[in-house]
Amino acid sequence: MVDVLVVKALKATAHHRHQRLVVAGGVGANAQLRMQLLAQASAQGIEAFFPELNLCTDNGAMIAFAAAIG
């Protein structure tokens, strides 16, 4: 999964000629994704940004919680 996300994210970034990539949501908490994307993006001259881990929450969990209390 990580390999596919890294390849697709970097291809999309290059295709649109962007120099920065922001990863958000629950997937941003994946340590392997962070490591690989930072390394490969840097090698291509792309800056990758990730939020702090405590801000990388899963939208599905948040929606389920909201439904449970609502």
Whether this prediction's pTM lies above 0.85 is answered by no
Q: What is the pLDDT of residue 56?
A: 82
- List the pLDDT tens digit at each of the 70 positions of the chain: 999 999 999 999 999 999 999 998 888 889 999 999 999 999 999 999 998 888 887 777 777 878 888 7
Q: What is the pLDDT of residue 58?
A: 73
Q: What is the pLDDT of residue 36?
A: 97
Q: What is the pLDDT of residue 45?
A: 96
Q: DSSP secondary structure string, 1-70? A: -HHHHHHHHHHHHHHTT-SEEE--SGGGG-HHHHHHHHHHHHHTT-EEE---GGG---HHHHHHHHHHH-
Q: Where are the domains of the chain?
A: 2-69
Q: What is the pLDDT of residue 6?
A: 97
